[in-house]
Chain A
Amino acid sequence: MSESPLKRIWYSTKNLLFELRLHKTGLIGLIILLFYTIVAIFAPYIAPNDPNKMQLADSYAYPEWFAIFPKYRNLPRNIFLNIGYHDWSISIEGDNLSVDEVNGYTVIIARCSDHTSYGSVLMEYSFNYSYDPPRRFEGEIPYRVDIYDATGSYVRIKCFIITPSGRSYELYDSRPIAYNLSRLDAPGTYDARDVFLKIKLGFSPHDYLGEKIFNEKGTYTLRLLVQVFTVKGDGYVEVKLANKTFRIYGMLYGLLGTDNLGCDLFSNLVYGTRISLIVGILASIISVSLGLIVGLIAGYKGGITDQILMFFTDTLLFMPILPLIIAISVFIGKSLYLEIALIALLSWMGLARNIRAYVMSLRDSMYVEAARAIGASDMYIVFRHILPQLSPLIYISLVMRIPGAILLEATLSFLNLGDPSVPSWGRMLYNARYAGAFSRLMWWWVIPPGLAITFLALAFILLGHALDEILNPRLRVRR
């Protein structure tokens, strides 16, 4: 009798787990739960990407493993090139030009001489492309132009792509730059989605440039042309080029493809575990604590306190929960903790009633009477005699309340009332519904999050049932 309550809770938990081992359903539930917990804890290691990172591949990309089907085998893959000094094959035209590598930059220096001169540096990089035409590509050309004592000189940078059959497209043109300019931080860019570029190349604004340009298989050449015009004098012109990037966005990506913004769906799925678990467990703990406190006070104190508390409990029981939460979320704002609080605050009533009834019966039992007779304080009686009796009920309620909270959270997120800054499964489904996953029949986007919710909820339900069987001996005996 000298053990502390905490220790007793520990022992009972240990016993419980031991007994659970013998229950098939409980064990299944426990294993599923364990799996989810591991996923939630190690989400950053399991998920290959930040769930909010956009443009990892083209939007609406297919899962990578689709490549086993012949139909999808040739879909474009991500090709991200980062081309530096050593990758280029460089040819120089003009005797006053020199190209060198300085601190990782490709530096072109054109010295002025006694006559105006016009020179150019041609840099080429070839790569192989052997997939279907992609929809999107883009590139960046970070450069810096410095003109030293050579006013009137100018630099012009152009970028082309040359297809295997020799067609050439001008992707970028800096136009003559006759002043000092740094575009190292905000590099010159070109994007296949750019309407002006499409028109310039003679396509319709609604065409995909990628499909038009990369429609052959073979060796493509990126060509960077730096033209330098120098005036007479002693000055010089310096052009500094950082690594040039070139990206073709693939249509095959990750385990579950990408969404409309090019975010990794699998990472979203993994991180969603955290939200569901947090919401489920926190909401359940708060709600059970509330129910316990109200039920205990009402049941133990009785009288007017009991009546007031139960009146309040009944009122809340009569309120429609989902509509109320929807209205409050819309009016007040969306945040994860608000959501948890709302779910918890509107779901403790049933438990409070049960506990009250139970406490009432205990209060009038012989040993409580006896304890009271020897002058035990209320606190002592509650903690010593009543709480331990309640523990099975609390255990079961704790577990059984979680699936409800998880489903409610998913529903709210699906109605776009969830916290928009956290990735959750409900939110994934909301995005799927309103970003076109359905009309594209992207089942790999629609089905996993829902199943994830279902199995998590199921784990808790199974666990709850098992606990119920263990802790509610009545059921066990009579079956």
Chain B
Amino acid sequence: MSTTSSLLRYMARRAVDRVAVLFLSLVLQFLLLRVLPYYVLGIDPSFFFLNPNLTETQRELIRKQFGLDEPLFSQFVKYVLCLFTGRLGYSFYTRRPVISELLERLPNTILLLGTSTILTIIIGLIIGIIAVSKRGSRFDATVIGTSIFISAFPVFYIGLLLLLIFGFYLRWFPLAGTVSRPPPKDPVAYLADVLWHLALPLTTIVVAGAGGFALFIRNLFLTQLGEDYVLTARAKGLSEREVMYKHVMRNVLPPVINILALELPGIISGAVVVETVFSWYGVGRWLFDAAMQFDYPVVQAVLFIQVVLTIVSLYIADLVIAILDPRVRLR
């Protein structure tokens, strides 16, 4: 059996598996977000839009537009079709295609989450690797202590503290928003303005994430260094550097890739909490606001996107790992 065909077969099996997972998650979401509130608890999302002048026929019309009068199964089929036809359905609230609303918020979220994810990974990696190379030192102990301590902080609390100190008390940074209103016209000043607004939310996410990531990297390396093959390699007289790069890296990479794959969807779907604390006009806050307005299609679409992205990015991660490590395919 050639390696390529075994790889292909493995990936195909995975693909089928993942599509099934996607389908089941759609069913679950549908049950939780549509069937449960309306059919079990009797909360009618259309009440939000009813005004006293409406005639009975019009009420029916609105409910029809929301698809609430159809049998459950056909509602489900419509729901799935909507998600896959490229427009992700229509918002109850604005009646606009969800995709165009999403695209309006995406740049902000990518700006915030993209930069912060990259920073988190870089800082985490650097600190983690330094800590593991100096394991047992004071630096290592500090990293462990700080990381554990920070991991006990709720993310929103980090944001609140930064906001209280740097926003309200020192007044160094703005309290809300992504740009000044209105922003400066000069492109350089504009960029500076954006960065100025970005500073606090970015710091919040990086502080919340980097410690944990560093700890993860450190422990990962540490476990690997304790494995038999490292002992063997050391026994063979390989230098520490060679051990690190030839053997350890190879085994450390898969979990790191996995973690990265899990982080990536967040760049699109945003961070509800941080975006809410800093009034950041992004996808995460949109999800929250939409939920508050009983705008089911938006909520479902955002959840759907996140599931799809997770599945896709993990699938890619699987592929990469399988290429790196042929043993995986046989599992």
Q: Which residues of A contact B (CB under 8 A)?
A: 311-312, 314-316, 318-320, 322-324, 326-328, 330-333, 403, 407, 410-411, 414-415, 426, 429, 432-433, 438-439, 441, 443, 446-447, 450, 453-455, 457-458, 461-462, 465, 474, 478-479
| A-contact bits for B168-183, CB 8 A (1 contact / 0 none) | 1100000000000000
Task: Mark B287-331 against chain A: 1 for CB-CB distance below 8 A, else 0.
Answer: 110011010000100110011001100000000000000000000
Chain A interface, >50% SS class: helix
**In the complex, per-residue mask of B262-274: 1 if CB is within 8 Å of any chain A CB, else 0:** 0001000100110
CB distance from A441 to the nearest CB of B (A): 6
B77 at interface (Cβ–Cβ under 8 A)?
A: no
The answer to whether A458 and B306 have CB atoms under 8 Å apart is no
What 8 A-B pairs have minimum CB-CB distances, sorted nearest first? A478-B226, A450-B157, A458-B152, A457-B152, A331-B37, A330-B291, A315-B24, A320-B306
B155 touches A411 (CB 8 A): yes
The interface-forming segment of B52-60, B120-128, B158-166 is B158-166
Instruction: Give Cα distance in the complex from A414 to B167, angstroms.
Output: 19
Cβ–Cβ < 8 Å partners of A331 in chain B: 33, 36-37, 41, 43, 291, 294
Task: For the complex, give the distance between the alpha carbons of A333 and B28 in Å.
Answer: 19
Q: With A311-B20, A331-B43, A454-B157 in contact, do A439 and B168 touch (Cβ < 8 Å)?
A: yes
Bound Cα distance A433, B156 (Å): 11
**Nearest A-chain residue to B265, judged by Cβ:** A320
The interface centre, meaning the residue of B36, B41, B151 with most chain A CB atoms within 10 A of its CB, is B151
Q: With both chains docked as a complex, state the minimum distance between the C-beta of A263 and any C-beta of chain B, in angstroms.
A: 20
In the assembled complex, the Cα of A383 lies from the Cα of B309 at a distance in Å of 41
- Which residues, 219 to 250 on B, are CB-close (under 8 Å) to A? 222, 226
Are A320 and B307 in contact, with the CB atoms below 8 A? yes
| The residue from A323, A433, A441, A446 contacting B269, defined by CB atoms under 8 A apart | A323
B21 in the interface, Cβ–Cβ < 8 Å? yes
* Chain A residue nearest in CB terms to B291: A330
User: Which of A315, A403, A455, A457 interacts with B21 by CB under 8 Å?
Assistant: A315
Do residues A450 and B152 form an inter-chain contact, with CB atoms below 8 A? no
CA distance A426 to B277 in the complex (A): 13
Q: Which chain B residues in 35-51 approach chain A with CB under 8 Å?
A: 36-37, 41, 43
Whole-angstrom CA separation of A441 from B25 in the bound complex: 45
Whether A332 pairs with B37 at a CB distance below 8 angstroms is yes
B148 / chain A contacts, CB cutoff of 8 Å:
458, 461-462, 465
B79 to chain A, nearest CB (A): 15
Chain B: minimal CB distance from A27 (Å): 15
Chain B residue nearest in CB terms to A453? B154
Residues in chain B near residue A316, CB distance under 8 A: 28
Mark B90-116 against chain A: 1 for CB-CB distance below 8 A, else 0: 000000000000000000000000000
For residue B149, which residues in chain A have a CB less than 8 angstroms away from its CB? Answer: 454, 458
Query: Nearest Cβ in chain B — how far from A435, in angstroms?
Result: 14
Across-interface contacts of A330 in B (CB, < 8 A): 291-292, 294
| A441-B307 contact, Cβ under 8 Å, with A323-B272, A454-B153 | no
Task: List, in ascending order, chain B residues with CB within 8 A of A312's CB.
Answer: 24
Pick from B22, B33, B169, B310: contact of A327, CB below 8 A: B33
- Given A333-B41, A415-B288: A311 touches B33 (CB 8 Å cut-off): no
Encoded as 1 (CB less than 8 Å from any A CB) or 0, chain B from 1 to 45 comes to 000000000000000010011101100110011001100010100
Given contacts A319-B303, A323-B269, A323-B303, contact A441 B169 (CB under 8 A): yes
Residue of A nearest to B21 (CB): A315
Knowing A438-B164, A458-B149, the reply to whether A411 touches B154 (Cβ < 8 A) is yes
B36 touches A332 (CB 8 A): yes
Say whether A332 contacts B21, CB under 8 Å: no
